[in-house]
Chain A
Amino acid sequence: EDQVTQSPEALRLQEGESSSLNCSYTVSGLRGLFWYRQDPGKGPEFLFTLYSAGEEKEKERLKATLTKKESFLHITAPKPEDSATYLCAVQASSNTGKLIFGQGTTLQVKP
Chain B
Amino acid sequence: DADVTQTPRNRITKTGKRIMLECSQTKGHDRMYWYRQDPGLGLRLIYYSFDVKDINKGEISDGYSVSRQAQAKFSLSLESAIPNQTALYFCATSGAVTDTQYFGPGTRLTVL
Contact = CB atoms under 8 A, between A and B. Distances in A.
Contact of B31 (A44, A97, A101): A97
State the main secondary structure of chain B at its contact with A: strand
A96 to B, nearest CB: 7
A36 B102 CA distance: 10
Interface stretch (B12-20, B39-47, B63-71, B75-83): B39-47
A27 to B, nearest CB: 14
B58 A98 contact: yes
B110 interface: no
A101 B104 contact: no
Contacts, number: 51
A102 B42 contact: yes
> On chain B, which size bracket covers the interface?
20 to 34
Contacts of A104: 42
B39 to A, nearest CB: 9
> On chain A, which size bracket covers the interface?
20 to 34
Nearest to B44: A101
Nearest to A100: B45
A46 B101 CA distance: 8
Contacts of B44: 101
B98 A98 contact: no
A46 B44 CA distance: 17
